[in-house]
Structure formats: C-alpha cells, structure tokens
Amino acid sequence: MLSTGRQNKKTVKLNDGMESRYGYILIAPLLLLIVVFIFFPAFYSFAISLFYYNPFGHQIHFAGISNYAEVLHSSLFAISVLNVMYYTAVVVTLQTILAFSLAMLFNYRFRITRMSRALVFVPAITSPVALSIIFIWVFSRQGMVNYFLSMFGVQPINFFFSTTFAFPAIMAMNIFSTAPYFMVMYLAGLQAIPPHILEAASLDGIRSGWKRFRYIYAPMLSFTTFLVVVLGVIGSMQLFDQVFVITGGGPANSTYVPLIYIYNRAFLYFGTLGVSSAASFILFAVIMAVTLLQRRYLKELRWA
C-alpha cells in the first residue's frame, strides 16, 4: 500500500509484504534485548551520572555535573587512567609483536604445526579468573618465574606484592595469554597473501627475512595489524578480571585501573553510584574517541 511504485518495479517479487513482515519478526527478539539491555542502560547510566543516587536508602537528588567534577578531581581516578594508558601502550605493542612472531613461526607447515598451534591457543580460551589463579603461582616466590630467575642467581621476587613488579607481571600474563588469539588473525592474514607474490619477490631479489618483512608482510598485513591494535586497545582499556582477582588494585594502587575505580565506587561505597556512572561515561567517551580515531586512520590506510 505504501509503496505502489516499488511494487511496479519489482513485479517479480510476489511476496514482498510477507518478506518484510518476517524480516521484522525475525529481528524483533534481538532489537527488544538490545534496546532494553544495552541502549537503555547506556542512557540510564548517563542519567544516574547526573544524580546523587542511593537506591537502598531511596535517596535521590539532582547533582548536575558535580559527579563528573568529583571524578575528574579524584587523584585515584587519575592514577587509574595513567595506569591503564601505561598498560595499554606496553601490552598492545608487545602482544602485537608476539602475535605476529608466533604467526610467522606457525605458518611453517610441519607435522607438528597443527598440534602445537592448538596447544598454544589454550590460554586464549581459558577463563581469565582461572588463568589469574594459575599465574598467582607462576609469579609467586615458589613459582616458575622465580625458579627460572634463580638459575641466574637472582633472589626470589614476590611479584604481586611489589609496587614495582605487580603491574608488569599482570602485563606479562595478559600478553602471554592474548597473543595466541591475535596470532590466529595474523595466520589468516598470512594465508591470504597469494604465493605468487612471494615467488615474484624472490625473483626480484627479496629473499632475506628482513626484506620480506619490510616489503611484503608489513604492507600486506597492515589491515590485520590495525585490527589487532584496535581490538587490543579496546580490550586493554577494559582490564578488570585479572586485576580484581590478583591484586584488587594494590599494592599501593600500583595496579589500580578505571574499571576497579568504577566497581569500587558502585559496590564498596554507599551512595556513590552517580560518581561510578560518571566515571564509566568518561571511560566510554575515551574508548569511543580512540575507536573512532583508529577507524578513521584505518579507512585511510585501507584505501591508500
């Protein structure tokens, strides 16, 4: 009824009405869930951030931007942001390099390749909480890392109780466990490179490992790399499970990250839900900005 013009154009399609009706029916459950459990909380989060709100005492009054002011003036939040930036810079860089190296290694096909690759991937599917607990041992005084270091005469270090070493140990663990995931993306990228390019290049004298990397792999995998970096950055900014389980943000706030701040504000202190929401909105804005920035860069790169 609405689109007589369209019907004339598409005389072949007899059941246009039925098709669009089914279209709406099939997406209805998804839309309902997304609206109620994603969009609504996102707006609700913004609303809460403008109020002083204590749901248990049923106290609520408008607070304007004072929650945001409190977050931005909080030295703890500043520490958490600096920490997560430090973490993101280190982890994303190293895990990307490690993922690429592992992919180069496992791109060679031998009998043992498939099995080895499958085993290396296990930490990537392990529950972060379970992995954190195993790594409490790995970095404990009696753990594997200290055992390894003791071979070089290094005195045992209590990694997770040290303000110097706790955060690097968490970084090492996450680099170790996330790299295999991105390795698989690189492997897919490597396999998409047509073999004749490598052959042609080797006729042109590009045979050494470094030259191959510089002139073939680096440019042809740039799209994969940016994807790996974008996903890595988004994941790193949301660091929570490992820190919560292993150090809880300590010792002396050396592993304090924004999500710990958000969680503590919501659950440890009463009546600071508004502050917690304000902090999560600030984090959201930062993640969004980073993503958009990278998307834009990515687009330019893709069409270059």
Partner 1 sequence: METFNVTKEKKKKNRIKRVATEQNSAILSIGRVKKVAIQLMMILAVVIYVLPFYWMMLKMFRTSIFAHFPPNLNPLSGTSLSNFVQNLGSVWSFGSFPRWYFNSIFVTLIVLFSSVFVGSIAGYAFARLNFRGREMIFYTVLGTLMIPFPVVSVASYVFMLNIGWLSTYQGIIIPEIASALNVFLFRQYFLTIPKEVEEAAKLDGLNPFQIFTKISAPMAKPAFAASFIYTFIGSWNNFLWPLMVIHSKSLYTLPLVLNFFKGVNGIQIYWNEMMTVVFLTLLPTLIIYAIFERYFVEGISFTGLKG
Residue from 143, 157, 178, 243 in contact with partner 1 (CB under 8 A): 143
User: Which residues are within 8 A (CB) of 268 and not within 5 positions of it... i.e. 6 or more apart?
Assistant: none
Decide: helix, strand or coil at residue 179.
helix
Decide: helix, strand or coil at residue 268.
coil
Q: Does 301 bind partner 1 (CB under 8 A)?
A: no
Q: Does 25 bind partner 1 (CB under 8 A)?
A: yes
Q: Does 70 bind partner 1 (CB under 8 A)?
A: no
Q: Does 86 bind partner 1 (CB under 8 A)?
A: no
Residue from 215, 267, 270, 297 in contact with partner 1 (CB under 8 A): 267
Paired tokens of 65 = 């931007």
Paired tokens of 103 = 């992919």
Q: Which is nearer to partner 1, 79 or 145 (CB)?
A: 145
Q: Does 126 bind partner 1 (CB under 8 A)?
A: yes
Q: Does 206 bind partner 1 (CB under 8 A)?
A: no
The 8-class DSSP code of residue 161 comes to G
Q: Does 133 bind partner 1 (CB under 8 A)?
A: yes
Closest approach of Cβ 101 to partner 1, in Å?
A: 9
Phi, psi of 268 (to 5 degrees): -95, -35
Which region, judged by CB under 8 A, interacts with partner 1, from 57-65, 66-74, 82-90, 107-115? Answer: 107-115
**Positions in 274-293 near partner 1 (CB under 8 A):** 276-277, 280-281, 283-284, 287-288, 291
Q: Does 233 bind partner 1 (CB under 8 A)?
A: no
Residue from 110, 152, 210, 303 in contact with partner 1 (CB under 8 A): 110
**Is beta strand 59-62 parallel, antiparallel or unpaired with respect to 51-54?**
antiparallel
CB of 174 closer than 8 Å to CB of 91:
yes
Say how many residues touch partner 1, by CB under 8 A. 105
Phi, psi of 26 (to 5 degrees): -70, -30
Rg (CA), the chain: 25
Q: Does 227 bind partner 1 (CB under 8 A)?
A: yes
Q: How far apart are alpha carbons 2 and 224 in whole angstroms?
A: 44
Strand pairing partners for 52? 61
Q: Does 85 bind partner 1 (CB under 8 A)?
A: no
- Longest pairwise C-alpha distance within the chain: 84
Residue from 76, 184, 206, 220 in contact with partner 1 (CB under 8 A): 184
**Which amino acid would we find at residue 262?**
I
Residue from 9, 78, 199, 293 in contact with partner 1 (CB under 8 A): 199
Closest approach of Cβ 287 to partner 1, in Å?
A: 6
